[in-house]
Amino acid sequence: MQGIREIFESQGYAIVGKHSAVKLCHWLRKSLLENRACYKHTFYGIESHRCLQMSPAAFHCTQKCLYCWRFQGFTLKKIAEEIDEPKYILMKSIEEQRRLLTGYKGDDRVNLEKWQEAMNPKHVACSLTGEPTLYPYLSQFFEECHKMGMTTFLVTNGTNPKALEKMDCLPSQIYVTVAAPNEEIYKKLCCPLIPNGWKKINETLELLPSLNTRTVIRHTLVREWNLGWEEEYAKLDEKAEPWFIEPKGYMFVGYSRQRMKLTNMPSHEEVKKFGETLASMLGYKVEAEREDSRVVLLGRGKERKI
């Protein structure tokens, strides 16, 4: 585990406690240095420079997706060590975020007022690396965030439906990544480390309509792997009845370059065509898009801004 921690720290992560991590988002830096916000700002009104990107299960996951650009040199599927308390993780994450931001204060490109806002995050993106639902106190963690007036995003691979089902405090918005139209492609592309991964994802999709929060299905699209099959994706999305659907193109970056090719990265036009076809099948429509992130937003008239 010590070696993994050293790798993370060399890549700009700040390790929090025994199993959590924080890292400045690419778009947070872009927002400070170039006044450019991420697609979540375009879609949902999130202030990129005030977003805390973290994970309470940084070294733990249930899949080893071929398209994942994060470090995958671990196969832990359960937090076995002593578990950190939710409030400690949140406060320490904010502290580490501030430490990582310190050097930006003296940069001539950075607006001082904006930097001061960044030092007090108001959004928590539980999405950095690993599978966040493996942290057993995730509900209490979100509760601590909400006490501080922070909005919360959870990104999950959907393989832990029981964790979502028993949460008393849900995040402001749940993303479920559905990166395969069927079980055969799922096993080849997402490389599950647990049995019945596809079955559990479907259980999560069936659970989503009963959850009292905003829901999003994200289709990470990889050319030559899972791009197409709109009818099969539509059947999965019909189970989930999500507020929004985000078809998003795979990006040839990070560790994924060891497993993928540049040609696996679809163009924005391909992603948009997929989205338009899917929307027509489901009764959604394209509500927004960001070409630089190769992503489109499908919706059905629900309030987008958080």
pLDDT per position as a tens digit, 1-10: 567 777 787 8
What's the pLDDT band for 254 if we cut at 50, 70, 90? confident
Distances (CA, A) of 218 to 137, 179, 205, 233: 24, 8, 12, 11
- Counting DSSP H helices and E strands in the chain, the numbers are 11, 10
**Tens digit of each residue's pLDDT (9 = 90 or more) over 62-121:** 999 999 988 877 666 788 778 999 999 999 999 999 999 999 998 999 999 999 999 999
Beta pairing partners, 216: 175, 244
DSSP, residue by residue, 112-172: HHHHHHHTS--EEEE-SSS-GGGSTTHHHHHHHHHHTT-EEEEEE-S--HHHHHT-SS--S
- Give me the chain's average pLDDT, please: 95
**Tens digit of each residue's pLDDT (9 = 90 or more) over 75-86:** 667 887 789 999
Copy the structure tokens of residue 15.
């390790």
* pLDDT at 75 (0 to 100): 66
* pLDDT at 80 (0 to 100): 75
- Give CA–CA dist 237/267, Å, rounded: 23
Copy the structure tokens of residue 77.
């599927």
Quick one: DSSP state of residue 215? E
**Tens digit of each residue's pLDDT (9 = 90 or more) over 227-248:** 999 999 999 999 999 999 999 9
Q: What is the mean pLDDT of residues 149-169?
A: 97
Quick one: DSSP state of residue 46? -
Q: Does domain 2-299 have CATH number 3.40.50.150?
A: no
Copy the structure tokens of residue 166.
């028993």
* pLDDT at 74 (0 to 100): 67
**Tens digit of each residue's pLDDT (9 = 90 or more) over 164-205:** 999 999 999 999 999 999 999 999 999 999 999 999 999 999
**Tens digit of each residue's pLDDT (9 = 90 or more) over 255-296:** 899 999 999 999 999 999 999 999 999 999 999 999 999 999
* pLDDT at 2 (0 to 100): 61
Q: Domain residues of the chain, as ranges?
A: 2-299
* pLDDT at 1 (0 to 100): 59
Residue listed under structure tokens 């601590």: 144
Global confidence as pTM = 0.94
